[in-house]
């Protein structure tokens, strides 16, 4: 059995690198969604002219990991209170977005955000929730980017620390 989840929380390379480490996530594909241009390419999305966000689409086994757990990880690895930005990555393509595949996912996402908002207090959660219309896989060179380019500057400075922090959190939760 498999389910899909589609999430955007900044650069897709970061989110992809995290979810590739998660038990029960069988496949992670970087891509584009949430916009209005058909078959966008990376340059168009980076220019902010397509309405699309950089996202990852996860294929996961709900008997191993729940959609709720997928969202818990998502909110632990990016800042859902910054609009159209994660760190130095700025623009609508880096927005926090959950693209749902069912009404059940929509309900879980709304409940999760409401609970986070109660915990966070003042800072509003700006994560968008909308039904997925279409997902466009990114170009091949974006797939498994961190794995293939661990010594590239962005990977060393931005992605590696996020992966390290996530792995430490996983160890804490197991211990």
Residue 9 CA to residue 74 CA, distance in Å, equals 8
Confirm whether 11 is a catalytic residue. Answer: yes
Contact 92/49 with Cβ under 8 angstroms?
no
Sheet of 96-100: strand order equals 128-131, 96-100, 3-9, 53-60, 25-33, 135-137
- Helix residue ranges, H only, 20-159: 42-46, 67-76, 103-120, 145-148, 153-154
Provide the annotated active-site residues: 11
């Amino acid at each position: 059995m498999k389910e899909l989840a589609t999430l955007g929380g900044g650069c897709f390379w970061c989110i992809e690198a995290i979810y590739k480490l998660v038990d029960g996530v069988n496949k992670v594909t970087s891509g584009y969604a949430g916009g209005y241009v058909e078959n966008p390419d990376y340059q168009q999305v980076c220019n902010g002219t397509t309405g699309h966000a950089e996202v990852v689409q996860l294929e996961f086994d709900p008997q191993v990991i729940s959609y709720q757990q997928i969202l818990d990880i998502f909110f632990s690895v990016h800042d859902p209170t910054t609009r159209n930005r994660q760190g130095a990555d700025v623009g609508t393509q880096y927005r926090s977005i959950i693209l749902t595949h069912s009404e059940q996912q929509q309900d879980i996402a709304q409940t999760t955000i409401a609970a986070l908002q109660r915990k966070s207090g003042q800072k509003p959660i700006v994560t968008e929730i909308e039904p997925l219309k279409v997902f466009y896989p990114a170009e091949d060179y974006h797939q498994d980017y961190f794995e293939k380019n661990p010594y590239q500057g962005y990977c060393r400075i931005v992605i590696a620390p996020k992966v390290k922090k996530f792995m430490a959190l996983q160890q804490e939760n197991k211990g």
